[in-house]
Amino acid sequence: MEKREQIYEGKAKKVYATADPELYIVSYKDDATAFNGLKKGTIAGKGVINNRMSNFFMRRLEKAGVPTHFVEELSERDTLVKKVKIVPLEVIVRNISAGSFAKRYGVEEGIRFDEPTVEFSYKNDALGDPLLTEDHIRALGLATREEVGRIRAMSLAVDRELSAFWQECGVTLVDFKLEFGKTADGTIILADEISPDTCRLWDSETGEKLDKDRFRRDLGGVEAAYAEVMKRMLAHD
């Protein structure tokens, strides 16, 4: 399958049409942004790692019963996916306090919750991705009650699978962001990516950050952290 016209360019990926109207090709870039695009940079080799890692987890999640957009890895950076209409929600699952949760509620990072929390924000860069309640989601017509229920259940299933996998790798899954899409027949499936860009991954022994927070917070060693989690992931296949 070959790329045809570019449909969309996001901050970290490009999306292309293919000869099949039901399929797109996503192409992962090394570009990195943070703070709604205010901070810009490059993480060398990130596109290759994020493509491979995301596909690795999408395959595992399919086996675990979570439907995803994944079809076939085409090359280091390119993957064939099902065409979906993205539901404009950023779904964040948190196991441990960190990031915007810690900041918003004035708590320290690193507190493990009794159960995972699911939160939604409106995927809208112009508005800065504001937090949404489930009532707000329905009021804005972004998804129905049933759809939100399915998205929530799938997100918690992803958390169970990923948390268990990363634990075997000596990595703690702190939190992550998912996006879902709708196929032509209205089925909701997992889309976007699962990578160190979209997950907080801490070394279970030392607490060292092995994800995009190294870029967001200017901690250095960004490429090395992405390479480290990739190495651990491959070692536990």
Task: Verify binding: residue 210, ligand TMP, rule CB under 6 A.
Answer: no
Residue 110 CB, shortest distance to ligand TMP, in Å, is: 13
Quick check: 97 binds ligand TMP (CB under 6 A)?
no
Q: Binders of ligand TMP: how many residues, by CB under 6 A? A: 12
CB of 148 to ligand TMP, least distance (A): 18
For 184, phi and psi rounded to 5 degrees? Answer: -55, -35
Position 199 contacts ligand TMP (CB under 6 A)? yes
State which residue, 18 or 68, has the beta carbon closest to ligand TMP. Answer: 68
Using CB under 6 A as the binding rule, whether residue 200 contacts ligand TMP is answered as: yes
CB 49 → ligand TMP: shortest distance, Å? Answer: 15
Task: Give the footprint of ligand TMP on residues 161-180 (CB under 6 A).
Answer: 175-177
Site string for ligand TMP, 108-147 (x = CB under 6 A): ----------------------------------------
Residue ranges binding ligand TMP (CB under 6 A): 92, 98-101, 175-177, 197-200
